[in-house]
Amino acid sequence: MAAGAPRVFVSHLSGVPVFDPNGDQVGRVRDLVAMLRVGGRPPRILGLVVEVVSRRRIFLPMTRVTGVESGQVITTGVVNMRRFEQRPTERLVLGEFLDRRVRLVETEEEVTVLDVAIQQLPARRDWEIDKYFVRKGRGGALRRKGETLTVEWSAVSGFSLEEHGQGAENLVATFERLRPADVANALHHLSPKRRVEVAAALDDDRLADVLEELPEDDQVEILGKLKEERAADVLEAMDPDDAADLLSELPEEDKERLLTLMRPDDAADVRRLMAYEERTAGGLMTTEPIVLRPDATVADALARVRQQDLSPALAAQVYVCRSPDETPTGKYLGTVHFQRLLRDPPFTLVSSIVDSDLVPLPPDTPLPTVTSYLAAYNLVSAPVVDESGSLLGAVTVDDVLDHLLPEDWRETDFHGEGGIRHGR
């Protein structure tokens, strides 16, 4: 549903078919998964519970939903067929919200929830609960006689987590306000038992971001405590280079088992990275830079740069290559930097403004040379190209810094005395 589109009531989604982009039916919606949040923020919709042909119920993230309209749901076509398992911080909207007795904040009057409306946030793929459709009066014989009304999510109490609540739910909800590096710092200082409990309550994407910021020992400990299928999901959500680094710390048997459980495309990227020496351009690179074909326009490039989940280093430039446009690509033609994209009209072809002067890095380039290359040309990211001229990936300055800093730098409490202080 596009930004600004009408809200959707969840009762209208129950049982609707889910289709991939080719028009093939994947299954039917059986519920929606929401995460409660503190601080007066509306519950976030994480995804859909979809029943596939085999009657297995799977989880479909909202980030893979491209359309909710005309009695159907359209997906990107990439569906994880693992069985859905509800986590501690998750609530089923149809199963747990409807028919629930809550109170109106203004009058303290008890009402029954008949339906819940969700809406997509502007310019984002995130969805939130927008409104509740409620009936006044108590249940039973009076159920159909009470006044019905639609109220804002903030007008109802009885769903949100309390600020003083205990347990993993409130702690996880509080962590949602922090950057992944800050969550990692907090987790590192918890007891091992508590660290694993809290990590298990994070959703896959959030846990992946946090794991990337943790010391290796903590990463291995947490991953080893997760169920294998969940561990594979988290590895898929991590940047391929970080997933490769983590897997390299595991025993060979465990590593192969997890790679087998991962989606083939994700596992292939990780295996390719693990084939390179750690402190080389190939071992440092990510396989997911922004790649565009020569006939793409500046407008196309800026749309890709705007993607919220991109790191600043990857969003600083696009790489122009011939088809295929996934790594390893066709022939690498050059780079277009973000500043150049801002200076040219939207209809300009990227092939006409490409910078082909800089020689790309071979995958076996050692770390000191990579560092000098970035420093000499004032770059935050550099292309890595093989002997045939195909783009393999990009080395970003943050990955280089990870290997230049002392090994225990992630374990340093940089919030303490004399460390970095955050302004208000």
**pLDDT one-digit tens code per residue, 300-314:** 999 999 988 788 899
User: Measured on CA atoms in the order 246, 248, 250, 256, is the torsion positive or negative?
Assistant: positive
pLDDT of residue 413: 45
pLDDT above 70: percentage of residues in the chain: 87
Q: So what's the pLDDT on residue 7?
A: 80
- Residue 321: pLDDT above 70? yes
Q: How confident is the model at residue 15 (pLDDT cuts 50, 70, 90)?
A: confident
Contacts of residue 52, defined as CB under 8 A and 6 or more positions apart, other chains included, come to 26, 27, 58, 81
The pLDDT value recorded for residue 118 is 94
The packing angle between helices 192-201 and 216-225, to 10°, is 70
Which has more pLDDT, 188 or 365?
Answer: 365
The pLDDT value given to residue 412: 54
Q: Is the pLDDT of residue 358 over 80?
A: yes
For residue 328, say if its preceding peptide bond is cis, omega within 30 degrees of 0.
yes
| pLDDT greater than 80 at residue 198 | yes
| Mean pLDDT on 268-274 | 92
pTM: 0.64
